[in-house]
Chain A
Amino acid sequence: MKKSTKTSVIDDLVNTINTTYSDYVKSLTPRTKLIDTFLLYLLALGILQFIYVLLVGNFPFNAFLGGFISCVGQFVLVVNLRLQYNAENFKIFNSTPERALGDFIFASLILHFIVYHFIN
């Protein structure tokens, strides 16, 4: 009996992932595709830096943190932008894509200014 529940759980999980993925692919527009590629890029960059630190050591710790956090920060900012671009969410945020882009640029500028200050 235990085995059967286990397999059903795994089945469920696989099912979940499949439906979500297909749904996701269906909902893509050129714009969100671009954003998502950028997100993936940031993710890869962050992971690369992390691996580098594990292999080589974190000597200029400032620089690593600056680089890593700029990836993470930019990532969440882009996710915010993407959420606000999503047509379903217009009503929640009560704002326009232009406004979202403006906010995004403002926040990113500040983020990168601090990062530059941080890495010396």
Chain B
Amino acid sequence: MTSTTKLKVLGINIETIKLLLQVIIFISIAGASISSRLFSVIRFESIIHEFDPWFNFRATKYLVNHSFYDFLNWFDDRTWYPLGRVTGGTLYPGLMVTSGVIWHTLRDWFGLPIDIRNICVLLAPAFSGLTAIFTYFLTTEMKDSNAGLLAAIFMGIAPGYISRSVAGSYDNEAIAITLLMATFYFWIKSMKIGSVFYGTLTALFYFYMVSAWGGYVFITNLIPLHVFVLLLMGRYNHKLYTAYNTWYAIGTLASMQIPFVGFLPIRSNDHMAALGVFGLIQLVAFGDYIKSRIPEKQFKTFLTVSMILIAGLGIGGLIGLTALGWIAPWTGRFYSLWDTSYAKIHIPIIASVSEHQPTAWPAFFFDTSMLIWLFPVGVYLCFQDLKDEHLFVIIYGVLCSYFAGVMVRLMLTLTPIICVSAAIAISKLFDVYLDLSEFWHSSSSTRTKLFTGLSKLLVLSSFTYYLFFFVYHCTWVTSNAYSSPSVVLASKNPDGSPAIIDDYREAYYWLRMNTAEDAKVMSWWDYGYQIGGMADRTTLVDNNTWNNTHIATVGKAMCSSEEVAYDILKQHDVDYVLIIFGGVIGFSGDDINKFLWMIRISEGIWPDEIHERDYFTERGEYRVDGQAPKAMQESLMYKMSYYRFHELFMGRDAVDRVRNQQIPIQNAPELSVLDEVFTSTNWIVRIYKVKDADNLGRDLKKASAFGKNSKKTRIAKKPKIDLRE
């Protein structure tokens, strides 16, 4: 849209006005994308959300309190008791280092001592503004700056991306998507002009991405795939060679600097595609050189012979090296991408994570609104001019649509490309329909003018309406679905006034204040990071899930009878057991609903002691009421959940509001190896203390039966809520 004649409006050059407008639009986009992510801070408070962010937050605190080298060598003995975790070598440090750098810059250079928590909370919204800008650049490379601006605003407010980047969701994805877009932008740029400089920048951003998120493998495979398809289409040129080689040589070397990645780039199959394409492009370049020197027929023979040789060597080498164990085979998450039931059968721990479930169809509309139906149009338009860079959009779009269908969390990587191609589609439409020049220049009759004008007006107004609707939808989804910290739950009182359920922090604070500093707390792994972050107590398992056996041990303790569980608890020095129980207020994400996964995971390790079938009724139902099977009723989890539950119902049958089942009074469980020490206001968190062995050498069942006649002692001390850190 560059005009050769210099137009002037009010004496100012029109290009200047355009630039000014673009800057203003950028500032507004950044403002919109940041402010729409602040719902949770305004409604609740500046707090870290969910589970993984609590670990990142804890690691960041460690980083700013210690030196960078301490951080890289960090051995954490407060998780995975008694094993510990080599935290420094098993995390992606990009996120923590980023906030650490921001914190130091603000404090040392600007004299602004900002609490590290606020930096962590607001990091994701801040980076979303940058994502919008990089999306603009990427889309500008695809079409023009009009499409770029549209893509930027789409990217800024699309719920699919907001879901992982609201204020407080301090997770790797928060900065990774920004880096994804930056890497892709520099890749397209370097590929288009064949510049070593941009290739190096691609590699540097790739390195940053590797340091920030395990999803870097996506780039590692997408760029080679793009190159590979271009080679297959016979579109080799020297620019492609330059860009790809620069990126691969520097990027691979750089990615090996991250301790967690280590030698993976030359060892694991995930990275072999990139290496293969690297080799291939050398051969193609060589072939291209030879082709320019000799006649066609000779070249054909040369090509066939060398092709057969190379293919044989390559495939044989890959299989041979994998068999010899030099190259690690593909990981479980990779297999579960192709075979959706793979994880459920082989690795229940992966399948048990809710974000690894297949996506439900409405989620696509929910997360991207109208963009989802503009997405194919954009891809189609890319097919229309099919330049090298458009091919990238097509490959990215096709691959990611598949992946997003397999795993909910990969919706996140699909969203950027949906925004880009939808922006291409809409801006193309606006290019055609906003072109009003014919009204001044053409000689057509008034009648035709009227009709074209009307049709244009109709299309434009309906799309303006769609755009408004899109903004409205995004805001609504963000505010209703993605702005809950999940540490603090929002609810409503019977009279409709808002109520806040703060049981988690109540319980964690109780742990922090009332237990010994080295107390070991056992809980299901979901709560490991939160206990470590908020209660600062040692945990047995956490969300890192690196040791399946250890998790299975905890699962076994939860699902076996008291006697069996007691031995396990004592073997692992457990002092407290923490469970989540939603039966009182109807909170569905509680441990009884996750119980099946505990059973499945421990059955994977102890197939002759735990049987999933035992926990279902004869008719295959999952019940907790009077018909619950014996194994269920005797499991530690069941007993801990419903212990003293009937006291709430004054001796009548208790009603579990999550599962809508009645638990008869005669089924009220008795606990003999654990003491209840804390139950939060709404009963969401219950904490039990493991009893010591009996002084008189009786087993604990007898001992507690004896002591039952004496008066009950329950610690009913509640923490002072206003004394919060």
Contacts and interface: CB of A to CB of B under 8 A. Distances in A.
Contacts of B266: 65
Given A76-B249, A83-B238, A16 B200 contact: no
A23 B293 contact: yes
Interface string A95-120: 10000101110110011001101100
A19 B246 contact: no
Contact of B298 (A16, A73, A77): A16
A94 B246 CA distance: 18
A107 B246 contact: yes
Contacts of A118: 253, 256-257
Interface in A1-60: 9, 12-13, 15-16, 19-20, 23-24
A72 interface: yes
Given A76-B245, A94-B193, A104-B196, A111 B253 contact: yes
A69 B195 contact: no
Nearest to B237: A92
Contacts of B194: 84, 92-93
Nearest to B282: A76
Contact of A117 (B200, B257, B294, B302): B257
Q: SS class of chain A's interface: helix, strand, loop or mixed? A: helix
B305 interface: yes
Interface string A75-86: 011011101100
B299 interface: yes
B183 to A, nearest CB: 15
B301 A13 contact: yes
B302 A12 contact: yes
B235 to A, nearest CB: 13
B239 A93 contact: yes
B249 A89 contact: no
B300 to A, nearest CB: 9
B204 A110 contact: yes
A67 B564 CA distance: 56
Nearest to B266: A65
The CB with the most chain A CB atoms within 10 A, among B203, B246, B252, B289, is that of: B246
A23 B256 CA distance: 40
B254 A83 contact: no
Contact of B239 (A16, A81, A92): A92
Contact of A80 (B193, B196, B203): B196
Contact of A73 (B238, B242, B253, B305): B253
B197 A114 contact: no
B301 A80 contact: no
A103 B195 contact: yes
Contact of A69 (B246, B252, B297): B252
B468 interface: no
A9 B197 CA distance: 42
B266 to A, nearest CB: 7
Contacts of B193: 93-95
A61 B239 CA distance: 33
A77 B197 CA distance: 11
B25 interface: no
A106 B254 CA distance: 15
Interface string B174-196: 00000000000000000001111
Q: SS class of chain B's interface: helix, strand, loop or mixed? A: helix
B257 A76 contact: no
B238 A106 contact: no
Contacts of A76: 245-246, 248-249, 282
B290 A16 contact: yes
Contacts of A79: 241, 245, 285
Contact of A20 (B242, B249, B294): B294
B250 interface: yes
A110 B250 contact: yes
Given A9-B301, A93-B239, A94-B193, A107 B253 contact: no
A73 B256 contact: no
A65 B444 CA distance: 71
Given A69-B252, A69-B253, A76-B249, A106 B305 contact: no
Nearest to B195: A103
Given A94-B193, A107-B196, A114-B257, A13 B305 contact: yes
Interface in B204-247: 204, 237-239, 241-242, 245-246
B239 to A, nearest CB: 6
Nearest to A61: B263
A24 B293 CA distance: 9
Contact of A19 (B239, B285, B293): B293
B196 A12 contact: no
B533 interface: no
Contact of B197 (A61, A92, A94, A106): A106
B203 to A, nearest CB: 8
The CB with the most chain B CB atoms within 10 A, among A13, A76, A110, is that of: A76
Given A80-B241, A93-B193, A107 B250 contact: yes
Nearest to A21: B293
A84 to B, nearest CB: 7
B53 interface: no
Contact of A16 (B195, B263, B282, B299): B299
Contacts of A13: 301-302, 305
A77 B249 contact: yes
A70 to B, nearest CB: 8
A113 to B, nearest CB: 10
Contacts of B200: 103, 106-107, 110
A89 B238 CA distance: 8
Given A19-B294, A95-B195, A107-B197, A80 B245 contact: yes
Nearest to A15: B298
A12 B301 contact: yes
A23 B285 CA distance: 16
Contacts of B250: 73, 107, 110-111, 114
The CB with the most chain A CB atoms within 10 A, among B237, B249, B290, B294, is that of: B249
Contacts of B249: 69, 72-73, 76-77, 111
A110 B205 CA distance: 13
A89 B240 CA distance: 13
Contacts of A24: 293
B100 interface: no
A43 to B, nearest CB: 12
A55 to B, nearest CB: 18
| List of 5 A-B pairs having minimum Cβ-Cβ separation, nearest first | A73-B249, A103-B196, A76-B245, A103-B197, A12-B301
9 contacts: A16-B294, A61-B263, A72-B249, A77-B249, A100-B196, A103-B196, A106-B197, A107-B197, A117-B257
Interface of A: 9, 12-13, 15-16, 19-20, 23-24, 61, 65-66, 69-70, 72-73, 76-77, 79-81, 83-84, 89, 92-95, 100, 102-104, 106-107, 110-111, 114-115, 117-118
Given A13-B301, A81-B196, 11 more contacts: A9-B301, A12-B301, A12-B302, A16-B298, A65-B263, A73-B253, A84-B242, A94-B193, A103-B197, A103-B200, A107-B196
